Structure 1
Amino acid sequence: MRKLFKAEAKQGMSAPTIWDDVGLNQHAAREIELIFGEKAAFETPKPEGLMQRIIEIATNAGDLVLDSFAGSGTTGAVAHKMGRRWIMVELGEHCKTHIVPRLKKVIDGDDQGGISKAVNWAGGGRFRFYHLAASLLKKDAWGNWVINPAYNAEMLAEAMCKHMAYTYAPSQDVFWQHGYSSENNYIYITTGTLSREQLKLISSEVGDERTLLICSKGFIAENNEFPNLNLKKIPQAVLYQSVP
């Protein structure tokens, strides 16, 4: 095997096994201290140089980077500076106290530590911050899955829309339009039982040019009686506890 010099290395070649040139935890702690003016509140923060190496090897510009244990937010900060899209997940309070402020500094161009100078980072971009909602279902004292009492009717409708891959967009004028999957395909969610007369009325309003998925506790009608309606029962285990 011929010895290969660094000058001969080509893009896309395998990285070396040992990385001793991307910084240590001490360097990462110093980077965080420069950002927040305080010592790092994390036991093993990762230096931006290390994350840069990993992201360079595994992705291209514009790719999506996921870090489901965001910690101090280093992955997102580095990915942003490198022109990658990113998603970070963090349950700790430092999501608010460290990650969000850090990313704001990155976007404003105020973070000139880490890899900023190496990639000529001057700021830019944006991000969205989402709070995780309570679980739709929870187990009761007997181990049955029931609707979480924290959910009201509107929240249940929104959750069911997401579960059925519909866009939640409740109409202010049409009670049976809770969401849609296409221009002529809608969804309606109710915890009540619908009679044949009610279904007949809804079917006439939907018309021949549209279809409607109805998720309900029950139906007093045959599923194929109304061609423009798709009737689906919400499982009894879910409806064991009524929505407040």
Structure 2
Amino acid sequence: RFLFEAAGKGKNIFTIWNDVGTATEATKELMAIFDGEKMFNTPKPVSLIERILSVATDKEAWVLDFFAGSGTTAHAVAKLNAEDGGHRRFILISNTEATQAQPDKNLCRDVCAERLRRVLSGYTNTKGQAVAGLGGGFAYLRARRIPRHRLTMKLDHAEVWHAL
């Protein structure tokens, strides 16, 4: 769509977004939240997700992220709400990423949820500066793990179509 055609019909976006941060900047931002510790290898820039949400959602939107990772989406939602008075809500889903070598690894608990606690309530960054909280809250729910062998269901073709 061209700018002259828009006339109040939504937001126009540019093809190239070279002002929304880089993966390196995102890593530094996350490290500042976690006292200089590198908690996640591939975070997305909050400014990128914030830009996408500002174009794709309104102030009352529900935002669903099936791959929560370090919690960038929730951070961006909270930041947008603080900036524009919105009431966006988020649902983030993640697995623990536990392995046989690291059975206690829980990215959702240790990185995503902890990041949200800090950015919502405030924290001290790596320079010793107080960073004000964005406000808001969240609930952390953990689903029970079900062994794969218990998931096999014997449904015939008609039952599947009926369920849809």
Q: TM-score, normalised by structure 1?
A: 0.47
CA distance in 1, matches of 2:9, 2:41: 34
Could you say what the CA RMSD is over the residues aligned between the two structures, in angstroms? 3.1
CA distance in 1, matches of 2:45, 2:137: 22
Higher gyration radius (CA): 1
2:93 is aligned with 1:89 = yes
Q: 1:28 aligns with which of 7, 26, 29?
A: 26
**5+ long unaligned stretches in structure 1:** 113-120, 147-244
Partner of 2:118: 105
**5+ long unaligned stretches in structure 2:** 82-87, 97-105, 126-131, 155-164
Could you say which structure has the greater relative contact order, defined with CA pairs below 8 angstroms and 6 or more residues apart?
Answer: 2
Report the alpha carbon displacement of residue 87 of structure 1 after superposing the two structures with TM. Answer: 0.5
Matches within 5 A, 1:1-244: 12-83=10-81, 84-92=88-96, 93-110=106-123, 122-135=133-146, 139=149, 145=153
Report the alpha carbon displacement of residue 40 of structure 1 after superposing the two structures with TM. Answer: 3.0
CA distance in 1, matches of 2:60, 2:16: 28
Counterpart code for 1:85:
R
Summarize the Cα distance change of 1:111–1:46 in structure 2 as closer, same or farther, 3 Å threshold: farther
Report the alpha carbon displacement of residue 10 of structure 1 after superposing the two structures with TM. Answer: 6.2
Runs of 4+ in 1 over 4 A off after TM superposition: none
Summarize the Cα distance change of 1:144–1:30 in structure 2 as closer, same or farther, 3 Å threshold: closer
Summarize the Cα distance change of 1:133–1:16 in structure 2 as closer, same or farther, 3 Å threshold: same
CA distance in 2, matches of 1:144, 1:36: 41
SS in 1 for 2:110: helix
Report the alpha carbon displacement of residue 125 of structure 1 after superposing the two structures with TM. Answer: 1.6
Report the alpha carbon displacement of residue 48 of structure 1 after superposing the two structures with TM. Answer: 0.7
**1:30–1:39 contact (8 Å) kept in structure 2:** no
**1:139–1:145 contact (8 Å) kept in structure 2:** no
Report the alpha carbon displacement of residue 138 of structure 1 after superposing the two structures with TM. Answer: 5.5
Q: TM-score, normalised by structure 2?
A: 0.67
**2:74–2:90 contact (8 Å) kept in structure 1:** yes
CA distance in 2, matches of 1:127, 1:32: 19
Aligned residues: 131
Report the alpha carbon displacement of residue 11 of structure 1 after superposing the two structures with TM. Answer: 7.6
SS in 1 for 2:111: helix
CA offsets 1:190-233 (integer angstroms, 9 cap, x no match):
xxxxxxxxxxxxxxxxxxxxxxxxxxxxxxxxxxxxxxxxxxxx
